[in-house]
């Protein structure tokens, strides 16, 4: 069942590369592309209120089906009127399917053709996820965009294992299509295939024939070398349709975001900016810093003079150093505000550069100033 309430409008493609600017129309508002999506795994972006996240310029934010199914339970979210009303977020949302947990909880899960059995980390009970169950859960959670259930395979994996996994993921994708019930939700298929280009193409071609509302690149940033990450995105992006949204999952470093934009990717997400913020690591226009460093103890300058966020406008490095040294929750909030705004603002600038056919120059300028090839 295709969505009737999501539409991609591509308004400009940079004449020097594949970077594209557009608008994604959703039931909860329009968002500009390309964009970075903050992650709110359990219907909250850690250390921030939904209102604060919105004030940072966020468009879509993510929640996770697996975690919401465990707590508070999808029926509770449905009774609240859906995830936006439950958490009071005034904007579009996306839910992951639990496919990443197939990777991250590998030691306590079992995969069969029917689905995946997880060990509940809260009470030890067995939890079974199938494509049909996931579609029911995501329908109750009610996000604008929902992801198909897939297997995110560990790296490295043999070609034989990867081929078998891709075939199962494709069968699960069709089952997701067949069991989707809400027309106001867009269902995205996820391209897997690891580091094998032929399997990436095979998976993409099969998913395109199923006619999903959008397509994601999965199985990256899970421990593989950087050059392999770049290759996997390259192997996949060129096979994705131009008239559908393209989403690179789990990416929050500048180099990978810029590489994806250059290849025509529209959407990115990652826990990285808030996770490292809570551990005192901050992304600035001139590189990454650890605010716990003693040299910031009496530094009364803004964290990043080129940043327009609430933190940089109102607080000094010395104050942030003090808060994080004392493990104050306000410090984690201020650092998270900055890191998210840094990435969201970078995407705003990238969109303007695309419209002016100068994305490649913008990318080079930002990465040169950042002074870190990996960009985080």
Instruction: Give catalytic residue positions.
Output: 96, 269
List CB contacts of 16: < 8 A, sequence separation 6 or more.
357, 358, 359, 360
Report the Cα 14 to chain-centroid distance in Å. Answer: 23
**What's the CA angle centered on 116, arms 111 and 119, to 5 degrees?**
105
For residue 70, give the nearest of 19, 127, 144, 6 by alpha carbon.
127
DSSP 242: T
Write phi, then psi, for 128 (nearest 5 degrees). -105, 125
Q: Which residue has the tokens 């327009």?
A: 308
For residue 84, give the nearest of 116, 104, 60 by alpha carbon.
60
Distances (CA, A) of 320 to 314, 328, 337, 341, 376: 11, 10, 12, 16, 19
> Which tokens in the block code for residue 333?
């909030």
Q: In what order do the strands lie in the sheet with 126-129?
A: 109-111, 116-119, 126-129
Greatest CA separation found in the chain?
61
C-alpha count within 13 angstroms, C-beta hemisphere, residue 329: 3
Write phi, then psi, for 374 (nearest 5 degrees). -85, -20
Report the Cα 61 to chain-centroid distance in Å. Answer: 8
263 near 233, Cβ under 8 Å? yes
53 near 39, Cβ under 8 Å? no
Report the Cα 154 to chain-centroid distance in Å. Answer: 18
β partners of residue 36: 268
């Amino acid at each position: 069942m295709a969505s009737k309430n999501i539409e991609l409008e591509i308004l400009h493609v940079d004449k020097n590369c594949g970077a594209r600017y557009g608008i994604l129309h959703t039931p909860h508002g329009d968002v500009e592309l390309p964009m970075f999506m903050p992650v709110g795994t359990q219907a909250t972006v850690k250390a921030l209120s939904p209102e604060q996240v919105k004030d940072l310029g966020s468009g879509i934010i993510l929640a996770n089906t697996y975690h919401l199914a465990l707590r508070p339970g999808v029926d509770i979210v449905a009774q609240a009127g859906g995830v936006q009303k439950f958490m009071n977020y005034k904007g579009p949302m996306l839910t992951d399917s639990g496919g990443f947990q197939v990777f991250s909880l590998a030691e306590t899960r079992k995969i069969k053709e029917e689905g995946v059995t997880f060990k509940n980390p809260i009470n030890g009970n067995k939890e079974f996820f199938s494509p049909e169950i996931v579609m029911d859960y995501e329908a109750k959670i009610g996000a604008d965009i929902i992801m198909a259930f897939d297997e995110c395979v560990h790296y490295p994996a043999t070609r034989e294992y990867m081929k078998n996994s891709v075939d199962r993921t494709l069968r699960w994708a069709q089952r997701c299509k067949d069991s989707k019930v809400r027309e106001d939700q867009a269902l995205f298929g996820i391209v897997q295939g690891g580091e094998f280009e032929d399997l990436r193409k095979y998976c993409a071609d099969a998913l395109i024939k199923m006619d999903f509302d959008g397509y994601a690149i999965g199985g990256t940033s899970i421990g593989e070398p950087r050059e392999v990450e770049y290759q996997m995105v390259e192997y996949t992006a060129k096979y994705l349709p131009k008239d559908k949204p393209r989403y690179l999952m789990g990416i929050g470093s500048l180099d990978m975001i810029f590489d994806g934009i250059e290849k025509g990717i529209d959407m990115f997400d990652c826990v990285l900016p808030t996770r490292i913020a809570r551990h005192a690591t901050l992304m600035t226009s001139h590189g990454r810093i650890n605010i716990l460093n003693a040299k910031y103890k009496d530094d009364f300058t803004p964290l990043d003079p080129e940043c327009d966020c609430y933190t940089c406008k109102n607080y000094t490095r010395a104050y942030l150093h003090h808060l994080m040294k004392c493990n104050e929750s306000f410090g984690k909030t201020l650092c998270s505000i900055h890191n998210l705004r840094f990435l969201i603002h970078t995407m705003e600038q990238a969109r303007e550069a695309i419209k002016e056919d100068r994305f490649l120059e913008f990318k080079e300028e930002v990465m040169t100033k950042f002074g870190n090839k990996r960009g985080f």
